[in-house]
């Protein structure tokens, strides 16, 4: 994974916190980081394999997440000409460059989060 020279265009006010909020907006939805994490761990995956790897996500939500991540240029969608024809999803260079961010999120969570006894006492 090399340093990406392509940059995503986002509207920003120029404040010093803007790169943080823009990045959070790109990946901040619940399933976005999970899909990116599973593609980082497994490489390119077809829809059903990705759904199985993610676990707990409906086909509709996964389809919406993949469409959004593709629009945000974080994943590629490739039609694989096999019989039967299938679709495979992989990270773009920009998507792959999120690896240290995703790893740090995991490390922080492992260090600072624990299972809540019930939903009402959960912070998330």
pLDDT value of position 46: 96
Going from the N-terminus, what domains does the chain have, and what CATH number goes with each? 18-113 (1.10.10.10)
7-39 pLDDT per residue, tens: 877 777 678 888 888 888 888 888 999 999 999
Tokens of 118: 């019930």
Residues of the chain with pLDDT under 50: 1-2, 4
**Of 99, 79, 102, 97, whose CA–CA distance to 89 is shortest?**
79
List Cα–Cα distances, 113 to 24, 38, 80, 99, in angstroms: 19, 21, 40, 20
Q: 3-state class of 45 per DSSP?
A: strand
Q: 3-state class of 87 per DSSP?
A: strand
pLDDT value of position 2: 46
pLDDT value of position 13: 65
């Amino acid at each position: 994974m090399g340093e990406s020279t392509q940059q995503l265009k986002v509207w920003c006010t120029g404040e010093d916190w803007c790169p943080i909020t823009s990045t959070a907006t790109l990946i901040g939805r619940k399933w976005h980081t999970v899909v990116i994490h599973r593609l980082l761990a497994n490489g390119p995956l077809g829809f059903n394999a990705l759904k199985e790897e993610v676990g707990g996500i409906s086909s509709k939500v996964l389809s919406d997440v993949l469409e959004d991540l593709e629009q945000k240029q974080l994943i590629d969608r490739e039609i694989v000409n096999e019989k039967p024809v299938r679709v495979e999803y992989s990270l773009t260079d920009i998507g792959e460059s999120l690896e240290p961010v995703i790893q740090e999120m995991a490390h922080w969570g492992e260090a600072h989060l624990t299972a809540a006894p019930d939903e009402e006492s959960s912070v998330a």
